[in-house]
Amino acid sequence: RDGLSTTVLGQTIVYRETIDSTNNLAQELANNGAMEGTLVIADEQQQGRGRRGRNWFSPPHSGVWMSLILRPQLPLAHAAQITLVTAIALAKALTRLTGVQAGIKWPNDILFNKKKCCGILTEMHAEFDQIHHLVLGIGINVNVPQEDFPEDIQHIATSLQAVKGTPIPRAKVVQVVLEELEPLYRQYVADGGFGTLRDQWKAHNITLGNEIIAHTAQGTIQGRALDIDEFGVLLVEQPDGEQKKIYSADIMFA
Ligand code: BTN
């Protein structure tokens, strides 16, 4: 907490040396009334989770594995947009920390030179149509030498150290991320959504304008990523000119 200049995020910190997943503990604490901004952080996760049931590589001493509890008073329909807001904060923070431009791959990956350095896993709990709480899980590969990534992710993963060339203290990474996120989160709550932050998202994105392949629950769509709307929905133009809206997907560059 030393040197942290935020007023909400990270005012309460729960630290564990080892844990199954920081998202699990954050869910439990949130269900028991933990305050908005409570941060759960661990040195190592035994069962770090990624999107779509994937595993998240979370070895000790190497990364920032953390989850924030948020309680925005917004309709459930707006909950997914927090991921885009968080991606803006992360792109800014990781660029500041490394001196190298980080880019956002829709919806929730932060990349350096097309390799992923950071992912976001947002989980939510609703009551009727209102958000009860959100758990914002953030995983950042910090001090992992490039050759230390497991072979299966070696070509798609990177770390801040690999990008910058020198290690970065993890406490500093947490501090910069929270400081970038707090003002954006405030704006998202005040505006009731992602809309006014859209230009900032676009300024950091590396998705729009590119040919992509999107794997959605309804099937695969290939085309050019044209734009995102004020809800964060991705618009793709297919080769026949038809435009499709993509609400949720994993995307790859074609
Ligand atoms: C993804 O890109 O698929 C999302 C990765 C999210 C990883 C973080 S690490 C902290 C938090 N706890 C988890 O189990 N997952 C998230």
Tens-digit pLDDT profile for residues 172-195: 999 999 999 999 999 999 999 998
**Mean residue pLDDT across the chain:** 95
* Ligand 1 centroid to residue 246 C-alpha, Å: 22
Q: Is 90 exceeded by the pLDDT of residue 46?
A: yes
Would you state the pLDDT for residue 4? 86
Closest atom of ligand 1 to 45 CA is: 14
Closest atom of ligand 1 to 119 CA is: 2
What is the pLDDT confidence band of residue 1, given thresholds at 50, 70 and 90? low
Nearest-angstrom CA–CA distance, 22 and 26: 6
What is the pLDDT confidence band of residue 2, given thresholds at 50, 70 and 90? low
Would you state the pLDDT for residue 77? 87
| Spatial contact of 26 and 107, defined as CB atoms under 8 Å apart | no
Identify residue 84 by its one-letter amino acid code. Answer: L
**What 3 state SS string does 2-37 have?**
CCCCCCCCCCCEEEEEEECCHHHHHHHHHHCCCCCC
Would you state the pLDDT for residue 3? 75
Rounded to an integer, the average pLDDT of 17-22 is: 98
| Spatial contact of 71 and 131, defined as CB atoms under 8 Å apart | yes
Rounded to an integer, the average pLDDT of 55-69 is: 96
Tens-digit pLDDT profile for residues 209-236: 999 999 998 899 999 999 999 999 999 9
* Ligand 1 centroid to residue 195 C-alpha, Å: 25
Residue 105 near ligand 1, beta carbon < 6 Å = no
**How high is the ipTM of this complex?**
0.99
Tens-digit pLDDT profile for residues 116-155: 999 999 999 999 899 999 999 999 999 999 999 999 999 9
Question: Which of 17, 72, 77, 5 is CA-nearest to residue 41?
Answer: 17
Residue ranges and CATH numbers for the domains of the chain are 13-204 (3.30.930.10), 211-253 (2.30.30.100)
Q: Is 60 exceeded by the pLDDT of residue 21?
A: yes
Q: CB-based contacts of 41: which residues, under 8 Å, 6+ apart?
A: 13, 14, 15, 16, 22, 64, 65, 66, 67, 174
Closest atom of ligand 1 to 66 CA is: 10
